[in-house]
């Protein structure tokens, strides 16, 4: 095997190797340290793990496209919260009172539309002004959060619709509704990125924007569509999560962007764009959730989880640099 | 004699648009509420901006050198908690240098990772944001920190005292800004920071040790964060362990508002101070007009985008982006 193929193989497989390592480590360590007598690899535990990965995982799929595109979106947490408010609030609007349970699809549609709209605003600004996506979404992260607060002050917005709760708690073939959504989104985005022209263009633009422009790709609209996709997914994530919980605080979704970016980077997507894979992001999401759950299982508290995830993120960045052949060819400076 | 043409005026507006907008805001706020220009109010705003401002000074160095620092918020929580904890254990005289040393160690670690190992600063500082937050929680055991004997210590002088009739936080902010401003504008090191941020490869070929410059920038940032932590701790004499959460983005907003490019190589300490004050005054003005605190988020959003957009538009000569 050539060195190049080997390193590619290592990089591709790294996240799954890491997940395997986590599973073994927490199973073994859990047997000695855990306070509960249940095994870590318990089936219920693993099913819950998938379900708990869903809110972050669904958005992470969108973030993968955005980052492959060479952009970044810091506003997803605020978008998530705003869509959740639209969802829960619109369920109680008097106009829809006559609809009975048919209000649910209407509210879902409204929430998803809000997400698309917020994404479109980001995308349009990036496209038309040429301001870097980091700054645009840093601004809208503040701005959208302001809109969240303006909607209902500092009060939580709550509404429990039991039909929705039942739907969210259904288990089909053993998997929860949220898990099905995560899997479906992963599949669709995977298809989009590997089997369509849009996906190929995303890689091309992220790899070399100038060349993509010269090749006739309409970069602006393309990026705007991607921002609309991530807005949609942030809304979908909110829809899935808040259908069950039924109450949203104005601070919900804060720091989501950090967890999501961590998951995507763990999955091997480059910040500079042009490289990355949806399936690896799925691995990254699972790895983070496993870590949180596993550390909890062996009795560590939140502080350790934060510490470990931060250090792992840096370690992954370092290892990736060492494994990356392209790095060796660069100027030694 | 230079003739003033339409494009000159356009160019001036684009370059100085942010100051023009600031002036419009001030006039508007003053008309709406005359108390806005009251000296007490102005002092109050500067004083409450001082903590954010001190952090922004350090981040300006990092941004000019072409990197980012997202860890300043959780690092500030760390130094606040540490100095409060050590205050009761060692006394203020030892606690302050010990806290500075510990914060500088964190800064050195980031500087090593970004400068010498050449890792992406966004990801490194994102990781450090999480890691330092965890460190703070572990250190404090998840509890809030309070100084036991609030009356019998001189520690409150940094946050609450006056010197020469000026509140100490403002004095420290001004002195630090003046010192760092001179370092950045008038010393060889300052020029190296611009060179590294402007074109790292060219800087290396001119014999500048890029890694060392980046490393020093992160040390400067950590020093500023430690000062901010000291101000925060001394102002409130007790603190939650999430006191700095989210500040990294506000700091970055102020620096960007001041006109520093995230690509590196441009920006000044003076402009950052303007950016910080602008955020502070807009926040204060909106409150005085009777709006809720969260309206400032939306206003800040609009202002940041406009500021950066006009800046870019002035440089490329067209308002709209040439992207197809």
Complex prediction ipTM: 0.80
Q: What local confidence, expressed as pLDDT, does residue A248 receive? A: 84
Judge whether B200 is closer than 8 Å to chain A, CB to CB: yes
Q: Which helix (H) or strand (E) covers residue B238, if one does?
A: strand B238-239
Looking at residues B192-199, what average pLDDT do you find? 91
CB contact under 8 A, A138 and B308: no
> How many Cβ pairs within 8 Å bridge chains A and B?
169
In a domain, B32, yes or no: no
Judge whether B112 is closer than 8 Å to chain A, CB to CB: no
Chain B environment of A73 (Cβ under 8 Å): none
CB contact under 8 A, B128 and A314: yes
CB within 8 A of A35, min separation 6: which ones? A299
The minimal CB distance from B124 to the residues A142, A220, A317 is found for A317
CA A11 to chain CA centroid, nearest Å: 21
Judge whether B253 is closer than 8 Å to chain A, CB to CB: yes
Q: How confident is the model at residue B1 (pLDDT cuts 50, 70, 90)?
A: very low
Q: How confident is the model at residue B10 (pLDDT cuts 50, 70, 90)?
A: low
**Is pLDDT above 90 for B226?**
yes
Q: Are B35 and B191 in contact (CB under 8 A)?
A: no
Q: Are A137 and A129 in contact (CB under 8 A)?
A: no
Q: What local confidence, expressed as pLDDT, does residue B13 receive? A: 61
- Whether pTM > 0.90 for this model: the answer is no
Q: Are A256 and B124 in contact (CB under 8 A)?
A: no
Distance CA A198, CA B241 (A): 45
The minimal CB distance from A306 to the residues B131, B295, B316 is found for B131
CB contact under 8 A, A304 and B138: yes
Nearest CA in chain A to B323: A220
Find the DSSP H helices in A69-176.
76-90, 103-129, 133-152, 162-169
In a domain, B136, yes or no: yes
**Å from A121 to nearest chain B CA?**
12
Nearest CA in chain A to B201: A333
Distance CA B142, CA B138 (A): 7
- Render pLDDT for B122-142 as a digit per residue (tens, 0 to 9): 889 988 988 998 899 888 887
The 3-class secondary structure across A243-271, one letter per residue, is HHHCEECCCCCCCHHHHHHHHHHHCCCCC
Question: By C-alpha distance, which of B97, B98, B111 is closest to B219?
Answer: B111
Classify residue B33 as exposed, middle or buried by CB count within 10 Å of its CB (0-12, 13-18, 19+). middle
Judge whether B301 is closer than 8 Å to chain A, CB to CB: yes
Chain B environment of A296 (Cβ under 8 Å): none
Distance CA B69, CA B197 (A): 14
Q: How many domains does chain B fold into?
A: 1
Domain A40-319 in this protein, CATH class: mainly alpha
pLDDT more than 90, % of chain B: 30
- Render pLDDT for B290-320 as a digit per residue (tens, 0 to 9): 888 888 888 888 888 888 888 788 778 777 8
Q: Take residue B173 and report the two structure tokens written for it.
A: 């902010």
> For residue B101, what is the domain's CATH number?
1.10.3470
Judge whether B255 is closer than 8 Å to chain A, CB to CB: no
In a domain, B276, yes or no: yes
In a domain, B23, yes or no: no
Domain range holding B307?
41-312
Which of A317, A323, A326 has the highest number of chain B CBs within 10 A, making it the mutation to test binding with B? A317
In a domain, B12, yes or no: no
CB within 8 A of B124, min separation 6: which ones? A314, A317, B110, B113, B114
Q: Are A161 and A246 in contact (CB under 8 A)?
A: yes
Question: By C-alpha distance, which of A155, A74, A165 is closest to A118?
Answer: A74
* pLDDT, one tens digit for every residue, chain A (333 residues): 455 566 666 666 777 888 888 888 887 877 777 666 666 667 777 888 888 888 999 999 999 999 998 888 989 999 999 999 998 888 888 777 777 778 888 888 999 999 999 999 999 999 988 888 888 998 898 899 899 988 877 788 877 777 777 777 777 777 788 889 999 999 999 999 889 998 888 898 888 888 888 888 888 899 999 999 999 999 999 998 888 887 888 888 877 888 898 889 888 888 788 888 898 899 999 988 888 888 877 777 777 888 888 888 888 788 777 766 454 444 443
**How many alpha carbons fall within 13 Å on the CB side of residue A210?**
0
3 state DSSP class of A158: strand
In a domain, B242, yes or no: yes
In a domain, B293, yes or no: yes
- Render pLDDT for B229-263 as a digit per residue (tens, 0 to 9): 999 988 888 788 888 887 888 898 889 888 788 88
Q: What local confidence, expressed as pLDDT, does residue B287 receive? A: 84
In a domain, B215, yes or no: yes
Nearest CA in chain A to B298: A143
């Amino acid at each position: 095997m050539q060195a190049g193929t080997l390193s590619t193989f290592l990089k591709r497989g790294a996240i799954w190797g890491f997940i395997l390592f986590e599973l073994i480590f927490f199973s073994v360590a859990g047997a000695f340290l855990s306070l509960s007598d249940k095994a870590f690899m318990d089936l219920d535990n693993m099913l819950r793990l998938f379900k708990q990965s869903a809110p972050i995982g669904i958005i992470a799929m969108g973030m993968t496209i955005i980052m492959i595109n060479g952009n970044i979106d810091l506003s997803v947490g605020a978008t998530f919260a705003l869509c959740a408010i639209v969802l829960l609030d619109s369920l109680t609007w008097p106009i829809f009172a006559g609809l009975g349970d048919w209000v649910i699809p209407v509210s879902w549609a409204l929430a998803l539309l809000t997400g698309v709209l917020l994404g479109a605003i980001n995308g349009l600004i990036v496209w038309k002004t040429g301001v870097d996506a980091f700054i645009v979404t840093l601004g809208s992260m503040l701005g959208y959060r302001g809109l969240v607060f303006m909607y209902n002050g500092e009060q939580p917005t709550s509404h429990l619709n039991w039909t929705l709760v039942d739907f969210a708690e259904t288990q089909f073939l053993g998997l929860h509704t949220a898990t099905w959504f995560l899997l479906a989104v992963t599949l669709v985005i995977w298809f989009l990125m590997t089997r369509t022209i849009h996906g190929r263009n995303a890689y091309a633009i992220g790899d070399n924007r100038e060349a993509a422009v010269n090749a006739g790709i309409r970069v602006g609209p393309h990026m705007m569509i991607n921002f609309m996709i991530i807005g949609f997914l942030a809304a979908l994530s909110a829809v899935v999560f808040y259908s069950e919980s039924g109450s949203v605080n104005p601070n919900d979704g804060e720091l989501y962007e950090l967890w999501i970016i961590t998951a995507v980077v763990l999955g091997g997507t480059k910040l500079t764009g042009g490289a990355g894979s949806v399936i690896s992001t799925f691995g990254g999401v699972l790895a983070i959730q496993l870590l949180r759950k596993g550390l909890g299982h062996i009795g560590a508290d939140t502080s350790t989880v934060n510490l470990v995830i931060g250090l792992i993120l840096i370690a992954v960045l370092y290892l990736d640099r060492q494994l990356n052949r392209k790095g060796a060819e660069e100027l030694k400076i | 004699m230079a003739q003033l043409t339409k494009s000159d005026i356009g160019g001036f507006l684009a370059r100085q648009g942010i100051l023009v907008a600031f002036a419009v805001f001030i006039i508007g706020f003053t008309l709406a509420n005359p108390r806005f220009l009251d000296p007490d109010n102005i002092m109050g705003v500067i004083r409450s901006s001082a903590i954010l401002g001190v952090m922004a000074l350090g981040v300006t160095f990092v941004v000019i050198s072409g990197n980012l620092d997202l860890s300043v918020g959780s690092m500030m929580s760390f130094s606040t908690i540490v100095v409060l904890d050590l205050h009761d254990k060692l006394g203020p005289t030892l606690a302050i240098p010990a806290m500075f040393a510990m914060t500088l160690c964190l800064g050195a670690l980031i500087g090593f990772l970004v400068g010498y190992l050449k890792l992406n600063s966004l990801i490194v500082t994102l990781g450090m944001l999480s890691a330092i937050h965890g460190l703070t929680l572990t250190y404090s055991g998840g509890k809030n920190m309070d100084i036991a004997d609030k009356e019998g210590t001189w520690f409150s002088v940094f946050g609450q005292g006056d010197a020469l009739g000026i509140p100490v936080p403002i004095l420290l902010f001004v002195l630090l800004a003046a010192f760092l401003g001179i370092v950045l504008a008038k010393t060889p090191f300052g020029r190296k920071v611009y060179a590294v941020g402007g074109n790292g490869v060219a800087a290396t070929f001119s014999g500048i040790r890029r890694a060392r410059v980046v490393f020093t920038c992160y040390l400067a940032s950590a020093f500023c964060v430690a000062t901010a932590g000291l101000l925060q701790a001394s102002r409130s004499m007790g603190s939650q362990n999430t006191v700095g959460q989210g500040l990294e983005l506000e700091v970055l907003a102020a620096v960007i508002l001041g006109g520093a490019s995230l690509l590196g190589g441009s920006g000044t300490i003076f402009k950052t101070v303007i950016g910080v004050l602008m955020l502070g005054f807009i926040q204060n003005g909106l409150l005085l007009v009777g709006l809720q605190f969260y309206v400032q988020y939306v206003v800040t959003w609009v202002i940041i985008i406009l500021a950066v957009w006009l800046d870019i538009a002035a440089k490329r000569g067209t308002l709209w982006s040439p992207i197809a």
